Amino acid sequence: MVNILFISATSACFELNNDSPYYAPEHFKVLLNGQEVTTSEINVISLFDLTPDTTYTLSLQGESIDETLEFTTKGERCAINVRDFGAVGDGVHDDTTAIQTAILWVPDGGRVFFPAGTYLSRPLTLKSHITIELSEGATLLGWTKREDYPIMPGSVFAQDGEEIYYGAFEGDPRSMYQSLITAHFAEDITIVGRGCVDGNAGNSDFWTEFRNFPDARPRLMFFNRCKDIRVHGVHACNSPSWQLHPYYSERVGFYDVFISAPKNSPNTDAIDPESCDHVDIIGCRFSVGDDCIAIKSGRIELGRKLNKPADHHTIRNCLMDFGHGAVTLGSEIGAGVRNLEVCRCWFRGTDRGLRIKARRGRGKNCRIDKVTFENIRMEGVLTPIVINLWYNCCDPDRESEYVWSREHLPVDDRTPWFGSFHFRNMECTDAEVAACYIDGLPEAPIEEVTLEDISISFSPDAKPGIPMMENFAKPRCRLGLYLDNVKRICIQDVKVEGQEGDKLIANHYETLDAESLQ
């Protein structure tokens, strides 16, 4: 069965419904109106260069795949070409004014079109009810001179005293350089195409001198308090910091997007939804210098003041080729995360697979619950599963005794709470550091961890490493299942091979069911 994920005026995205992570069970042909347009081996399929308000017939054909459906593209009011507004597209000329003018002039329901070319630009601001289309061969290239990036304040105060937030980084309001693509308090924005949005940070000082900046680095795309944002098909790369950052936004979708940055590029997380509601990340591919996906909800101040949890996120049919964590929660999760489903994904070569991190001080609103990871394949992931309540980065007091003390401290307004976590149907090969490393707080143990139908094997060439970032961390190598300060542990049909020492080390729990551990 094939499902419709997304349709715009000129593109469409579909998903095969099966049990295979990311890759389809077989190669298959993609036909449009009876004509073969491509072949595919992955579960998410995209079509571009379609005609608005037109009905098409899509067919998928393989040895065991035979699916047909009819779909109709959306209508649009008009389409305007950035070259008609003076954009040159040679990668040398400053095309900012031409592009921004086209964006301002296009009417609601219209599309701004970039033909093939390289469009050098300073930061751009989008408005509601428009589509940006980057055709194949089109690149929106970021400006390299930092002094030409406007500074956005962390917040401003309205006349009624309301604090309105504009800039942020790592969970705190903070002045920041404007992102290459920015939208504030906007809705119904679509960015589609087979083109590229390139932050060009490797040719600036954003990656080399950032520790000396008075203001936070820009994102590649920053959506602040927006609704109904869709990004489909484009290649996003080389951002000065986080690449795609929806912030306190609703109904956000990323479909068949490729996000990349060099392995040594600092803080180049791919997609970091922060305090957002209903986020879909489906059919995307990642290879970046930090976490592939990091779900956040403010550090301490915003977590307490706004208390807006990350809610209803779906991550499905994605491929993570490199990153610190494939799917990460935190550590800036001061308002918590709930209703997260990660399924049918493939992780290759990431430091950690499913990574959840917080610490004392994130606060009582930091409540993580109803989290499910299912049908995941991992290859060469150093530690497949990590839940870390001792995270020691990002904060001024990260090395304080309050953060690292193993004593049973009082539960107060600073204490986070972790609920139920379910890990099912996972195959992990060539792990190196630990099969899983789950470490809760003695005064607030994790409520429940279920490991079910999981196979984890270690590489014969495994090297020692740190399973989770904490004070006084000890290198480990081929450590089995490690769980500490978890109330209820349920291990069903789990197989661990190639570990050094015991398959299971469990401390400070109330109930443990591990009879089927092999």
Question: Residue 115: inside a domain, yes or no?
Answer: yes
DSSP string, 180-223: SEEEES-EEEEEEES-EEE--GGGSSTTTSGGG-SSBPP-SEEE
SS (H, E, C) 370-382: EEEEEEEEEECCC
Question: Residue 358: inside a domain, yes or no?
Answer: yes
Name the pairing type of β-strands 35-42 and 23-32: antiparallel
Tell me the per-residue pLDDT of 476-501, one tens digit each, with 9 for 90 and over.
999 999 999 999 999 999 999 999 99
The dihedral of CA 448, 481, 457, 330: what is its sign? Answer: positive
Query: Do 85 and 61 lie in a common domain?
Result: no
Q: Which residue has the tokens 């003041």?
A: 305
CATH of residue 93's domain is 2.160.20.10
Query: CA 67, CA 21: separation in Å to the nearest integer?
Result: 19
pTM tops 0.95: yes
SS (H, E, C) 233-291: CCEEECCCCCCEEEECCEEEEEECCEEECCCCCCCCCCECCECCEEEEEECCEEECCCC
Starting at the edge strand that comes first in sequence, how are the strands of the sheet with 383-388 ordered? 293-295, 325-329, 352-357, 383-388, 434-439, 479-484, 504-507
- CA 432 vs. chain centroid, Å, equals 24
Total structural domains within the chain:
3
Question: Residue 231: inside a domain, yes or no?
Answer: yes
Tokens representing 277? Answer: 């509601």
Rounded to the nearest integer, the mean pLDDT of the chain is 96
- The answer to whether the CB of 156 falls within 8 A of the CB of 178 is no
Tell me the per-residue pLDDT of 135-166, one tens digit each, with 9 for 90 and over.
999 999 999 999 999 999 999 998 998 999 99
Question: Residue 296: inside a domain, yes or no?
Answer: no
| Residue 35: domain span | 2-72
CATH of residue 39's domain is 2.60.40.10
Query: Do 43 and 143 lie in a common domain?
Result: no
Q: In angstroms, what CA-CA distances link 445 with 33, 371, 420?
A: 57, 16, 11
Tell me the per-residue pLDDT of 410-466, one tens digit each, with 9 for 90 and over.
999 999 999 999 999 999 999 999 999 999 999 999 999 999 999 999 999 999 999
- In the chain, the amino acid numbered 480 is G
Active-site option among 198, 256, 277, 290: 290
Say whether 324 is catalytic.
yes
Query: CA 34, CA 56: separation in Å to the nearest integer?
Result: 10
Please choose, from the candidates 243, 141, 123, the residue with its C-alpha nearest in 3D space to the C-alpha of residue 196. 141
Question: Residue 322: inside a domain, yes or no?
Answer: no
Question: Residue 288: inside a domain, yes or no?
Answer: no
Tokens representing 383? Answer: 């530690």
Query: Do 37 and 88 lie in a common domain?
Result: no
Percent of the chain residues topping a pLDDT of 90:
93
Question: Residue 289: inside a domain, yes or no?
Answer: no
Phi, psi torsion values for 96, nearest 5 degrees: -60, -50
Tokens representing 13? Answer: 């995205």
Active-site option among 232, 277, 324, 351: 324
Say whether 290 is catalytic.
yes
Query: Do 518 and 402 lie in a common domain?
Result: yes
Query: Do 140 and 215 lie in a common domain?
Result: yes
Question: Residue 195: inside a domain, yes or no?
Answer: yes
